[in-house]
């Protein structure tokens, strides 16, 4: 079941995110890695900053978590995480499609340039890698991240049309 997260999900969200984030260990720049990757205070700050989190729940367990943040002219997909043991089962795709269905605005996603599996995942879902110039501009405009993260990140985008088309495509 995909549903919106509630305050009582916080512990499980934190656990699922940090389990999934192990994928970054040894891949992203060492100076950006820390454990837990997302401390509870940072997760709470993101919620206060209006990242709306959704989750895929199975038997009372949060298996995947994904956030969406309205930035006016665009929306951002933030913090996409599926538990390590459940990857490649279509959960990330289900969550992403669900969030895409909540908006008709252009969608931007930022990720580590070294996270090639994530870039691949988004490209397969119809997102296009932005140029270095567009990436820098968008990260500065819509995100609040340190300069070092800007240098080592990439932004992917899907047009509003793309998102709207998805809404009218029949499900197979
Ligand atoms: C990126 C991430 C969220 C994707 O979630 P996921 O649930 O593994 O994604 P899906 O299963 O929907 O799709 C992943 C792959 O599995 C394949 N797949 C989907 N359903 C499948 C199934 N039933 N059987 C086998 N393979 C399947 C898809 O073709 C896809 O292949 P691709 O990655 O080569 O395109 C997840 O890998 C993750 O949490 N990674 C670590 C954190 C991270 O990188 N997050 C992104 C931050 S922006």
Distance 73 CA to ligand 1 centre (A): 28
In this prediction, residue 160 carries a pLDDT of: 67
pTM metric for this prediction: 0.91
Ligand 1 pocket at CB < 6 A: 20-21, 23, 80-82, 87-93, 111, 115, 117-118, 120-121, 124
Segments forming the whole domain that contains residue 119: 2-162
- Residue 62 maps to a domain: yes
Residue to mutate (ligand 1; options 87, 94, 119, 158; most atoms within 8 A of CB): 87
Asked if the structure places residue 168 within a domain, the reply is no
Q: What is the pLDDT of residue 158?
A: 96
What separation, in Å, do the N-terminal and C-terminal C-alpha atoms of the chain show?
Answer: 18
Question: Which pLDDT value is given to residue 43?
Answer: 98
Whole-number Å distance, alpha carbon 86 to ligand 1 midpoint, is 9
125 domain-assigned: yes
Instruction: Give tens-digit pLDDT for 64-95.
Output: 999 999 999 999 999 999 999 999 999 999 99
Q: Distance between CA 44 and CA 3 in Å, rounded?
A: 19
Mutation to probe ligand 1, out of 64, 78, 92, 119 (largest number of atoms < 8 A from CB): 92
- Give yes or no for a contact between 155 and 113, defined as CB atoms under 8 angstroms apart: no
* Total number of domains constituting the chain: 1
The best mutation among 18, 55, 90, 119 to test binding of ligand 1, ranked by most ligand atoms within 8 Å of the C-beta, falls on: 90
Whose CA is closest to atom 7 on ligand 1? 92
Residues of the chain scoring pLDDT < 70 = 160-172
Look at residue 159 in the predicted model and tell me its pLDDT.
Answer: 84
Q: Is residue 90 part of a domain?
A: yes
Q: Residue 136: which CATH number?
A: 3.40.630.30
In a domain, 172, yes or no: no
* Residue-level pLDDT at 161: 59
E strands in the chain: 2-4, 51-58, 61-70, 75-82, 107-112, 128-129, 153-158
Answer yes or no: is 167 within a domain.
no
């Amino acid at each position: 079941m995909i549903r919106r997260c509630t305050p009582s999900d916080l512990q499980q969200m934190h656990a699922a995110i940090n389990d999934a984030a192990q994928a970054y260990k040894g891949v992203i720049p060492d100076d950006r890695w820390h454990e837990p990757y997302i401390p509870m205070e940072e997760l709470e700050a993101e919620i206060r900053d209006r990242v709306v989190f959704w989750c895929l729940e199975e038997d009372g367990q949060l298996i995947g978590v994904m956030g969406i943040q309205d930035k006016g002219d665009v929306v951002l997909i933030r913090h996409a995480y599926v538990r390590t043991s459940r990857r490649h089962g279509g959960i990330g795709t289900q969550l992403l499609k669900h969030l895409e269905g909540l908006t008709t605005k252009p969608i931007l996603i930022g990720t580590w340039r070294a996270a090639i599996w994530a870039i691949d995942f988004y490209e397969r879902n119809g997102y296009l890698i932005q140029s270095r110039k567009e990436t820098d501009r968008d990260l500065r405009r819509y995100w609040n991240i340190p300069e070092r993260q800007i240098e080592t990140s990439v932004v992917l985008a899907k047009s509003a049309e793309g998102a709207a088309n998805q809404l009218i495509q029949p499900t197979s």
